[in-house]
Amino acid sequence: MSDNTQSIFTAAKVLIDGPSELVFDYAIPEGIGDVVVGCRVRIPLRNRNSTGTVLEIGTPPQSDFTLRPLHSLIDPEPLITPTLMKLGRWLADYYNAPMEQVMRALLPESVRQDAHSEKTRKVVVLENMPDEEARQKLAKKAPKQNLILTLLEAASGQIALADLGGGSVTASVKSLEKKGYVTMKHEAVRRDPDEDQEFMESFPLKLNPEQDVILKEILNPENTKPFLLHGVTGSGKTEVYLQAVQHQLDLGKSALILIPEISLTPQTVQRFKSRFASLQDQVAVLHSHLSQGERFDEWHRIRKGKARIVIGARSAIFAPLTNLGIIVVDEEHENTYKQETSPRYHGRDIAVLRAHMEKCDIVLGSATPSLESFHNTQTGKYQLLKLTLRADHQTMPIIRVLDMKIEAQKQKGRMAILSDKLRLSMENKLKNGEQIILFLNRRGFARSLQCPPCGHVCECQHCAIPLTYHRTEERLVCHMCGYQSITPRKCPSCGDKAIRLQGFGTEKVEEVIKKVFPQARLARIDADSMRRKNALRDTLAKFKANKIDIIIGTQMIAKGLHFPNVTLVGILNADLGLHVPDFRAGERTFQLITQVAGRAGRGELEGEVVIQTHTPHSPSIQFARHHDFEGYAEQELQFRNQFGYPPFSHVATLGTRSTHERRAEFTLENLHKRLKASVPPQIELGEPMPSPLTKTHGQFRYQLMIKSTSARLLSHHVRAILKQTPPPEDVNIVFDMDALSFF
């Protein structure tokens, strides 16, 4: 044993960066620094160097082999706090996810990889100003050096080298540096995602009696339960959030604001940066649309304590904030808080757990709370807070439901996109200079291309869904995998030229509106039209400035947006998500309609909502029409309780995916037999069957549903069987705890 290994006194268990979950023990040599859990380290791996994260510190394991020592610390301080490490271990256990994948969630790629680093620039700093005689000599013999000193004097003694002329003045600067007049330093430059934005300072609003009572409840230190803030659309929930955050900042604490959609980020950031104008540099933003450099800078600003307010989407729940005072989960009911890839965590649930660990306040807010959260208030786990009135005494919009079966008869069987009632309402609003939102949760021009004589539908080669026609690109596009195809002029199956478009999307609606209202200024907001960075922010800014009359959009515009001049909302097809094989279909439809309807009448003018549907008597539509969340919740919870669905149980899906259909099916059948052979009585196993979406991205999919009143028991039972049953190489197994999607 060498002298180096003789000095080793403890060992570190290190999770190696990479696609596989490798965990190795390494010795910690003396002099390397303070190695603690959460540190990033460089380590030897076979015949190369690698990087990893320290999971545990302890005594070396008993072994005949000498442990290889760590090379070095990447950072002197741990990047993962003890609380976040504890949260990560819980997440890995509950959602049955590999720790490597959990680490990828805790530490973004921009932070883990050496390729990303702090951006710097060269800065010239004035150290000593020469006396008058020396200045005169410089002016004669070195006028460029004299000019640099003059510019530095005017710029308070510091200026970027690039602003002085970059490389062309480097020699002059070095000459001044030799004379002791200036020094050249490297200065960190923040890559600010909102650097081109100006934020006008705003001030706290006077709360109405309901808001005042709720704020006092949130700030009461004796209340330790999570809060569910159920406030109707436009009731001023955001103002309550802002004042609650201000209280925590005054106490020297930090705040985390979660939002469900990146599309909501511009308005949310604007409201917080305007309110906390004196602390703008302390507001950080985290979401997937940031560049790697922006994400690197924002994350490290948070870690170093330079940012005390963090606004972000789902992954921001892992922001390395310290001394947390409050977590706000806005629109807590949204499905987008659920991660679709491993680790398949739910951002709202992890937020509640982190608040418990950090011993801080947490507020879940929504006009249409999830039934899981609402049920938790009934069982005493959460405390319910209610805002029943719109702020400033605004009235709820009038909602009209139109039966499109009758409308089709009026239009003699033609596809009706705009009903007569909606068209007339739009005419009146445009005459009065008011704004309109049209909602349709389907992008593209037509949902499919079908041949009436033979029934052939053009489908994706890799997914079991019809291709959507996009007129802008003149292509058929798969919205699942992105596959594109040229639009055929005749049926690929029978050769008939009668092939025609079926259904309609936002592109088709835009074309129709341009013909019906040629003078109106339109904008379309969907995933196709908002690809350019900041396109959504710029479009919403124009709409706010009344430079756009009508917005046509998907669920990107369904929630969180506040435009006082919007007086009409048209929901063009309220049935899109209603008739799918999912017990949550009705709940989602109710939530979506209520949220979209809430965009109308948020100013001084009365709002109107027109819902076009083929199933006008659906409970989801009728309860939404009357703004009756509690009525809908009571009926739906009775149904869920009767069939043992959440929130009265936990539901997970176990699925197999493979390019070979029979192997995917056989693997799941084998897993089902093993699960069933030792299943505890508290677990209810479904039968293996093809997924509703039987094929996607070239893989066939099979799944079974598992229910239990004990989430931990369910997860551990599945984990035990999966460990005993390695799948074939070409079969992927997907376990989704507390599943929200069954496709």
CA–CA gap between residue 441 and residue 572 (Å, rounded): 9
Q: What pLDDT, on a 0 to 100 scale, did the predictor assign at position 4?
A: 41
Write down the H helix ranges in 1-68: 3-6
Average pLDDT on 693-713 reads 95
Interhelix angle 143-154/132-141, rounded to 10 degrees, is 130
What's the CATH number for 3-112? 3.40.1440.60
Q: Which fold has domain 209-389?
A: Rossmann fold (3.40.50)
B/e letters for 275-288, b = 16+ CB within 10 Å, e = fewer, are: bbeeebebbbbbbe
Any idea what DSSP says for residue 547?
-
Whole-number pLDDT of residue 415: 63
Instruction: Please tell me which of 31-40, 363-372, 494-503 the model is most confident about, judged by mean pLDDT.
Output: 363-372
pTM of this prediction? 0.88
Residue 493 has pLDDT above 80, yes or no: yes
Higher-confidence residue of 4 and 594: namely: 594
Give the model's pLDDT for residue 681: 94
CATH architecture of 398-442+506-640: 3-Layer(aba) Sandwich (3.40)
Assign domain 650-736 to its CATH architecture.
Answer: 2-Layer Sandwich (3.30)
Contact 602, 641 (CB under 8 A): no
Backbone angles phi, psi at 600, to 5 degrees: -95, 145
Please give the pLDDT value at position 414.
61
Specify the range with the lowest mean pLDDT, choosing from 237-246, 537-546, 607-616, 650-659.
537-546
Top-confidence residue, 501 or 344: 344
Distance CA 192, CA 277 (A): 15
Cβ–Cβ under 8 Å, residues 503 and 447: yes
| 94-103, 280-289, 318-327, 430-439: segment of lowest average pLDDT | 280-289
Q: How far apart, in whole angstroms, are the C-alpha atoms of residue 242 and residue 399? A: 30
Contact (Cβ atoms closer than 8 angstroms) between residue 194 and residue 273: yes
Q: Are 730 and 663 in contact (CB under 8 A)?
A: yes
State the Cα–Cα distance between residues 605 and 551, nearest whole angstrom: 18
On the question of a common fold for 209-389 and 398-442+506-640, the answer reads: yes
Which pLDDT does position 2 carry in this prediction?
39
Does residue 628 have a pLDDT over 70?
yes
SS3 of 656-716: the string is EEECCHHHHHHHHHHHHHHHHHCCCCCEEECCCEEEEEEEECCEEEEEEEEEECCHHHHHH
136-140, 282-286, 459-463: lowest mean pLDDT where?
136-140
CA 5 from chain center: how many Å? 47
Distances (CA, A) of 395 to 14, 390, 391, 603, 631: 59, 7, 9, 9, 20
Q: Of the candidates 553, 550, 555, which has an alpha carbon nearest to the alpha carbon of residue 515?
A: 550
Quote the DSSP letter at residue 487.
Answer: P
Q: What's the whole-number mean pLDDT along residues 182-211?
A: 84
pLDDT at 397: 92
pLDDT tens string 542-578: 999 999 999 999 988 887 778 889 999 999 999 888 8
CA distances from 320 to 56, 253, 316, 336, 356 (A): 19, 13, 9, 22, 16
Query: Can you give the residue ranges of every domain in the chain?
Result: 3-112, 120-188, 209-389, 398-442+506-640, 446-503, 650-736
User: E strands along 163-306, which residues?
Assistant: 182-188, 227-231, 254-258, 283-286
**Joined tokens for residue 638:** 């009775």
